[in-house]
Amino acid sequence: MLAILKLIQSIIKTLHSDGTPGQVAAGIALGSALGLTPLVNAHNLVIFALIVLLNVSFGGGMLGWALFVPLGFIFDPAFDAIGRSLLQAPALRGLWTAWYNTPLMPYTSFNNTVVLGSVVAWLVLAVPIFFAARYGVARYRATVGERVRRSRFYQAVTASKAYNVYRLFRPD
């Protein structure tokens, strides 16, 4: 419950004041990888580390994750098809064979159709997601953001002590 509360706090704060729209959008773009691709994979450990270590909005990362999880499930068949076509492409067989026989590479599960397809799809979509999110956050802040900030719900959420933990990951 505490975790969910923290997540809601982080998302709401993210949309209002924590970081520039660019930082929030970068967080969302990185977080979308966690949602679009199967979570328990080595690449997501790297993505999570980037969200934490880079000066992007952590809340944005969590928001991106939450937003893109359902899309990941919906588009799994498409990812499977993309991954299959890439893994079966004769021109790429040499690359896959080399990677498959390289230490540690197989642990990335790149040879799984859904993992490869979803990672490639995310790489292609990351930049459009970034720009769309940056525009969306800026528009939000300029329009309904101030009204939400004055609402009782917002006041209650930000008053929680758990929010303080999140502050550690606020963008500078």
Partner 1 sequence: MAVKVFRWKAIAPLLVLLIGLGVLVAIFAEPIARSTTEEAGTELLGTEVDVGKLDLLPRQTSVELGALQVADPFDPRRNLVEAERILVKLNPEALAEKKVVIDNFVLHGMRFGTTRKTAARPATGGGFAAQTLRSVRQWAGRFDVPLLRLTPLDTIKQLVLDPSQLGTVKAAQALASSTDSTRMALQQGFKSLDVESTVDSARALATRLSATDPKTLGLDGTRKAIASVKATLDRLDQTRKRVATVESQVKEGTRLLRTGVEGLDEARRKDYGLARSLLKLPTFSAPEIGNAFFGKVSIDRFQQALYWAELARKYMPPGLLPREHPGPRRLRMAGTNVQFPKEQNWPAFLLQVGQIDFTVDPSAGALGGAYKATVQGLTSAPALYGKPMVVRASRSAAGSAVAGIDVAALVDHVGQTARDSVAARLRGVRLPAFDIPGLPFRLDPGTGSADLTFALRGDQLRGRWGIGSDQVAWALDSARGGGNSLEQIVWRVVSGLKTLDVTAEVSGTVKAPRLAVASNLDRAIAARLEAVVGEEVAKAEALARAKVDSLVDDKVAPVKQRIAAVQAQATERVAGQRVQLDKVEAELQAQLERLTAGLAPGIKLPKIKL
128 near partner 1 (CB under 8 A): no
Nearer to partner 1, 107 or 143 (CB): 107
Task: Examine residue 42 and tell whether it contacts partner 1 (CB under 8 A).
Answer: no
34 sits near partner 1 (criterion: CB under 8 A): no
115 binds partner 1 (CB under 8 A): yes
- Cα–Cα dist 134/109, whole Å: 31
Assign residue 160 a region (left: φ > 0; alpha: ψ between -120 and 50; beta: otherwise).
beta
CB 37 within 8 A of CB 145: no
27 binds partner 1 per the rule CB under 8 A: no
Interhelix angle 113-142/76-88, rounded to 10 degrees, is 130
Residues between 47 and 86 that touch partner 1 (CB under 8 A): 49, 52-55, 72-73, 76-77, 79-80, 83-84
Q: For the CA atoms of 108, 119, 8, 161, what is the dihedral angle to 10 degrees?
A: 40
Minimum distance, C-beta of residue 144 to partner 1, in the bound complex (Å): 27
Query: Does 114 help bind partner 1 (rule: CB under 8 A)?
Result: yes
Q: Which helix (H) or strand (E) holds 1?
A: none
Nearer to partner 1, 96 or 154 (CB): 96
- 149 part of the interface to partner 1, by CB under 8 A: no
Tokens 């990351």 correspond to what residue? 126
> d(Cα 16, Cα 149) in Å, to the nearest integer?
7
Report the interface residues with partner 1, using CB under 8 A.
Answer: 38, 40, 49, 52-55, 72-73, 76-77, 79-80, 83-84, 87-88, 93, 96-107, 109, 111-115, 117, 168-169, 171-172
